[in-house]
Structure 1
Amino acid sequence: MSQMLSPDLSAIEIRCYFVRKRNCLLVRGRFGPLYMDYYLHLMQHGIKHPDKLDQMLKDGLTGVALHLASRPHDEGCAWTINLHDPLLNIFVTGATIPGRVTGRLFTEDVKDTGKSLFIAQTTRTHMQNRQSMIEFQGNDVLAAVEQFYTQSEQRLTRIFRLEDEDFVQISAEPDADEEWLAGLTDADILTLDEAEHLTLLETRSYVFDCGCTAERMFPMLSRLNEEDLGYIFEDGSATITCPRCAAIFRTPKSDFDEWKSRQTS
């Protein structure tokens, strides 16, 4: 996720605050513009999700963006949320430099383990990659993110869904007032800036974008044998689906052959 972002994308701002005397980190953002680009992406590639699954993927995108905003700038992450009922995988990923999130649903050939799993992979510059996995209950994606924080990150975190696609995440920092955090309601969040002392730490921007191109899929094709490549390019072109955002590319074999020749020259 290192390429420049398109100026046509609609960036959202996520503001990060420290809740003084409560020792909690609050991040919040209004996700409408990001959702709009997500829907434009679906339309462009002819993708249609049932309403329930569509909302679950949007919640995954929201959760990963709020998470990234609360983490170091050079950290990236990828979450696979494997649900038992309904049986599907929600995949979301992103980074802060540049501020980009993307994701997709997998509804076919999904492994059913009889339970729901949250698998998180974290990357950070000059540090070893980390992976953690937890089992969670229910099929509420944002509740699954909260359970991930409690079990894997080992800190209490609450996520609130407000009107106008506004979301707030509050996480416990060292010496946090966890009783206060656990007792917060939606009504409390609406008046939090009046009841508590919030200090703005920074503002970060994120867009919905994968950055994929047909050429970025070519390394994946290059690992196939000649027989499989012959099948894929049977009519002279191949249809390639991005594993991260489900974008569909139709590419001629000549483009793939030209890319291969550049790799060996």
Structure 2
Amino acid sequence: MNLFLVGDTDDDTVAGRVFTEGVAEADHNSFYQEVGKSGQDPYRSYIDFEGRDPLLAAQEYYQRSEQRPARFFALSDTQYALLTAHPDWNRDWFYRVQPEDVMLLDEREDLHHIETRKIRWNCGCSDVRIFAALEPIFRHQADELFGGDDVIAVNCPRCSAKYGVTREALEGWCALRDR
């Protein structure tokens, strides 16, 4: 299994993809993370992990990265919690916490908001980005790219969104870029 996550702190967005088909056989699973900041190249890191639980994979990533320790909890089918350590954290308490404790944290602990973010799922892919990625191939090997078809199916490599690209649309894109 390969997991790929991408986040943009300027836009408060995340996206990702689980690769289950066409994945090269390996003796390990991989967890990828890419974070983008305005005006800088994205930073990508990854770890290999055991098992098939994405929450444990993310937790393992936090433990092995330069970030602070974190624990992830599945509270229900649609509700998840992230517990992160901050300066002067209580290590014993942090690792002792169970999912039922997380559900009652606001009743048992004096909680304060450190920050609030409304993160949304958005890869940022678009026709323009797909056309830009296909343009070099189209300019040199248009017939091979389309293989006799008028439309090709393209998946975003980051989030797997599906795009139908026509030869006519890609020709129009290239003509605009040539102006």
| CA deviation profile, 1:178-216 (whole Å, cap 9, x unmatched) | 111011112211221122111123332233333433332
Return the offset for 1:148: 0.5
Pairs aligned (count): 178
1:244 alignment counterpart: 158
- Give the Cα–Cα distance (whole angstroms) in 2 for the partners of residues 129 and 101 of structure 1: 13
Task: Mark the CA change 1:189 to 1:225 in structure 2 (over 3 Å): closer, same or farther.
Answer: closer
Task: Mark the CA change 1:99 to 1:260 in structure 2 (over 3 Å): closer, same or farther.
Answer: same
SS in 2 for 1:102: strand
- Give the Cα–Cα distance (whole angstroms) in 2 for the partners of residues 143 and 132 of structure 1: 17
Return the offset for 1:224: 1.1
- Give the Cα–Cα distance (whole angstroms) in 1 for the partners of residues 112 and 152 of structure 2: 53
Task: Mark the CA change 1:225 to 1:261 in structure 2 (over 3 Å): closer, same or farther.
Answer: closer
Aligned 8 A contact 2:8 2:37 in 1: no
1:63 alignment counterpart: none
- Give the Cα–Cα distance (whole angstroms) in 1 for the partners of residues 157 and 41 of structure 2: 24
What RMSD, in angstroms, separates the aligned Cα atoms of the two structures? Answer: 2.4
SS in 2 for 1:98: coil
Flag the structure with larger Rg.
2
Superposed, 1:156-235 pairs within 5 Å as: 156-163=69-76, 165-224=78-137, 228-233=141-146, 234-235=148-149
Does structure 1 residue 258 correspond to structure 2 residue 172?
yes
If asked which structure has higher relative contact order (CA below 8 Å, sep 6+), I would say 1
Q: Please, which of 91, 94, 106 is the counterpart of residue 19 of structure 2?
A: 106
Determine which structure has the larger strand proportion and give its number. 1
What percentage of aligned pairs have identical amino acids? 31
Superposed, 1:51-90 pairs within 5 Å as: 83=1, 89-90=2-3
Q: Please, which of 140, 148, 168 is the counterpart of residue 61 of structure 2?
A: 148
Task: Mark the CA change 1:261 to 1:111 in structure 2 (over 3 Å): closer, same or farther.
Answer: same
SS in 2 for 1:153: coil
Return the offset for 1:96: 4.1
Please list every run of 5 or more consecutive structure 1 residues that lacks an aligned counterpart in the other structure: 1-82, 84-88
- Give the Cα–Cα distance (whole angstroms) in 2 for the partners of residues 104 and 131 of structure 1: 15
Superposed, 1:4-153 pairs within 5 Å as: 83=1, 89-127=2-40, 129-153=42-66
- Give the Cα–Cα distance (whole angstroms) in 1 for the partners of residues 123 and 42 of structure 2: 21
SS in 2 for 1:104: strand
Normalised to the residue count of structure 2, the TM-score between the two structures is 0.84
Normalised to the residue count of structure 1, the TM-score between the two structures is 0.59
Task: Mark the CA change 1:100 to 1:128 in structure 2 (over 3 Å): closer, same or farther.
Answer: closer
- Give the Cα–Cα distance (whole angstroms) in 1 for the partners of residues 150 and 29 of structure 2: 41
- Give the Cα–Cα distance (whole angstroms) in 2 for the partners of residues 248 and 256 of structure 1: 16
